[in-house]
Amino acid sequence: MPTLGIAREFLREFGRLQRTVQDRVFETFAKFEEATFAGVHLETIRNARDPRLRSIRIDQSWRGIVLAPESGDSYTLLRVLKHDEAYLWARRQTASVNRATGAVELRDAVAIEDTLPDLAEQAASTSDRLLTEVSDADLRRLGIDDQVLAFARTLTTTDQLEAAHAMLPEPQYDALIGLAVGLSPEEVWAEIAATVPDDTEPGDIDPDDVTAALARSTKQVVLVSGPDELMEVFSYPFDLWRVYLHPVQHRVAYGDFSGPVRVTGGPGTGKTVAVLHRAKHLAERSTVDRSVLVTTFTRTLTGSLEVQLRTLVEDEDVLRRIDVRHVDQLANQVVTAEHGRIGIMRAEDQRALWREVIEETGVELTDAFLAQEWRDVVLAHQVDDLDGYLAAPRRGRGRPLGQRQKERVWAAVTAFVDGLRRRDRWTHETVCAEAARLLAARTHKPYRHVVVDEGQDLGPWGWRLLRAAVPEARDDMFVAADAHQRIYGHRISLKQVGVRITGRSERLTLNYRTTAEILGWSIGLLHGQPVDDLNGDLDTLAGCRSEVHGQPPSLHAAATRQEELDGLAGEVRAWLDAGVEPDQIGIAARSWSQVDAAVGALTAAGLPAKSLARSRPESGRVAVATMHAMKGLEFRCVAVVGLTEQAVPPPRAVTPVEDDPLSHELDLQQERCLLFVACTRARETLRLSWHGTASSLLPSS
What would the pLDDT profile of 368-402 be if each residue is shown by its tens digit?
Answer: 889 989 998 999 889 999 999 999 888 777 788 88
pLDDT on residue 35: 39
pLDDT on residue 218: 53
**Do 501 and 563 belong together in one domain?**
no
Q: Is the Cβ–Cβ distance between 49 and 92 less than 8 Å?
A: yes
pLDDT category, 506, cuts 50, 70, 90? Answer: confident
**Do 136 and 258 belong together in one domain?**
no
pLDDT on residue 455: 84
Q: Which range, 68-77, 163-172, 532-541, 593-602, is most confident?
A: 593-602
pLDDT on residue 213: 74
Name the pairing type of β-strands 93-97 and 104-108: antiparallel
**Do 57 and 170 belong together in one domain?**
no
Cis status, amide bond into 649, omega within 30 of 0: yes
pLDDT on residue 231: 54
Name the pairing type of β-strands 74-82 and 635-640: unpaired
Residue 1 Cα to chain centre, angstroms: 41
Strand segments, DSSP code E, in 411-540 are 449-452, 477-481, 505-508, 510-511, 531-532, 538-539
Lowest mean pLDDT, pick from 13-22, 84-93, 289-298? 13-22
- CATH code of residue 274: 3.40.50.300
**Do 574 and 662 belong together in one domain?**
yes
Kindly report, residue by residue over 253-287, the tens digit of the pLDDT: 888 888 999 888 877 777 888 899 999 999 999 99
**Do 610 and 671 belong together in one domain?**
yes
**Do 15 and 63 belong together in one domain?**
yes
pLDDT on residue 450: 96
**Do 629 and 654 belong together in one domain?**
yes
Q: Say how far apart CA 487 and CA 588 lie, in whole Å.
A: 14
Question: Does residue 434 sit within a domain?
Answer: no
Three-state secondary structure call for residue 96? strand
Kindly report, residue by residue over 171-218, the tens digit of the pLDDT: 898 889 888 877 788 888 876 765 665 555 555 677 777 767 766 665
Q: What percent of the chain has pLDDT over 90?
A: 43
Question: Does residue 437 sit within a domain?
Answer: no
pLDDT on residue 247: 65
- CATH code of residue 29: 3.30.2310.20
81-94 b/e (C-beta count within 10 Å ≥ 16 → b):
beeeebbebbbbbb
**Do 330 and 275 belong together in one domain?**
yes
pLDDT category, 529, cuts 50, 70, 90? Answer: low
Question: Does residue 308 sit within a domain?
Answer: yes
Kindly report, residue by residue over 578-636, the tens digit of the pLDDT: 888 899 999 999 999 999 999 999 999 999 999 988 777 788 899 999 999 888 788 99
Q: Say how far apart CA 694 and CA 558 lie, in whole Å.
A: 10
Q: What percent of the chain has pLDDT over 70?
A: 85
Segment 230-236 mean pLDDT: 54
Q: Is the Cβ–Cβ distance between 670 and 487 less than 8 Å?
A: yes
Domain count, the chain: 5
Entry pTM: 0.68
pLDDT category, 34, cuts 50, 70, 90? Answer: very low
**Do 607 and 687 belong together in one domain?**
yes
Question: Does residue 376 sit within a domain?
Answer: yes
pLDDT > 80? residue 55: yes
pLDDT on residue 387: 92
Kindly report, residue by residue over 285-297, the tens digit of the pLDDT: 999 999 999 998 8
Lowest mean pLDDT, pick from 7-16, 319-328, 331-340? 7-16
Q: Give the domain extent around 313.
A: 247-336+443-507
**Do 268 and 407 belong together in one domain?**
no
**Do 316 and 369 belong together in one domain?**
no
**Do 598 and 681 belong together in one domain?**
yes
pLDDT > 70? residue 345: yes
